[in-house]
Structure 1
Amino acid sequence: MATVNEQITDSVTQVNTKTLGDAPAMAMGSLFTATSQALSNAGLNSTTSQQHAGITMQAATVQGVNSLGAIGSAVLGRAAEAVVEKG
Structure 2
Amino acid sequence: MADNTPVNSQITDAITQTNVTVLGEAPAMAIGALSQAMSSSLAVMFANATAAQQQQNIVAQAATAQGVATIYGAGRSEPDTMLSLMTALKATQEVD
| TM-score normalised to structure 1 length | 0.78
CA distance in 2 between counterparts of 1:2 and 1:48 reads: 66
Unaligned 5+ segments in structure 2 are 78-96
Moved over 3 A (4+): none
Instruction: Work out which structure has the larger RCO, using CA pairs closer than 8 Å and 6 or more positions apart in sequence.
Output: 2
CA distance in 2 between counterparts of 1:21 and 1:34 reads: 22
Of 41, 45, 50, 2:44 maps to 41
Identity %: 47
| Higher helix fraction (1 or 2) | 1
Corresponding pairs, count: 74
Deviations 1:15-42 (A, max 9, x none): 1000100110110011000000000000
The Cα of 1:2 is off from its aligned counterpart by 2.8
Partner of 1:2: 2
Aligned Cα RMSD in Å?
1.6
Unaligned 5+ segments in structure 1 are 76-87
Larger Rg: 1
The Cα of 1:3 is off from its aligned counterpart by 1.8
| TM-score normalised to structure 2 length | 0.71
Partner of 2:22: 19
